[in-house]
Amino acid sequence: MKKILIVDDEPEMCRLLKRILESEKEYQVFTALNADDAMTLLTSTAMDLVLSDIRMPGPSGLALADHIKQHHPDTGIILVSVISDPEELRAALAIGLYGYILKPFDCQQVLITVANALRRQELESKERRARRDLEKEVFTKNIDLKQSSWEIEQARSDLKTSNRILHEQLLFMQ
């Protein structure tokens, strides 16, 4: 079950979005009335996706999105707003958001945007895990290579020493 957090300072909007998302039966939906409460909830509960209003009292939805990107990189973000300011939209997309929903919205638009965002979030999470696994493997292989290189150098040194001793013994026997 995917966990989704709705952040909006309007309780009615939280209830509406929660009702829409819970109609799918595959989402567990949480709500917060401001960015500070959302950040607190995110520290205790890993979310797959956050739908956040942009303009709220206290930290904005953009500030929340930035916080999520820094501290919860496996959490996707969709901004929801009545504002269709192109500059705000560009700023939102520059952060790397998964979507932008304008109020008033169509229920199907919300469900489709959320489903697409969750697919993208899952793919990006898998990519990050694969990259971390690959980096670990490369690190381990580098350590193994350094160890092997050291062992080869040690064997060369031992061989030189053995050759020198053998050469000295041959000279002594003559």
Local confidence pLDDT in tens for the 174 residues of the chain: 999 999 999 999 999 999 999 998 899 999 999 999 999 999 999 999 999 998 899 999 989 999 999 999 889 999 998 866 777 777 777 777 888 888 888 889 999 999 999 999 899 889 989 999 999 999 999 998 899 899 999 989 888 988 888 887 877 777
Are 19 and 42 in contact by the 8 Å Cβ rule? The answer is no
Strands 76-81 and 99-102 turn out to be parallel
Side by side, which strands form the sheet with 99-102?
27-32, 2-7, 49-53, 76-81, 99-102
Q: What is the pLDDT of residue 71?
A: 95
The answer for residues whose C-beta is within 8 angstroms of residue 61's C-beta and 6 or more apart is 7, 35, 52, 53, 54, 55, 79, 80, 81
Structure tokens given for 87 = 């500059």
- pTM higher than 0.95, yes or no? no
Strands 99-102 and 27-32 turn out to be unpaired
Are 9 and 34 in contact by the 8 Å Cβ rule? The answer is yes
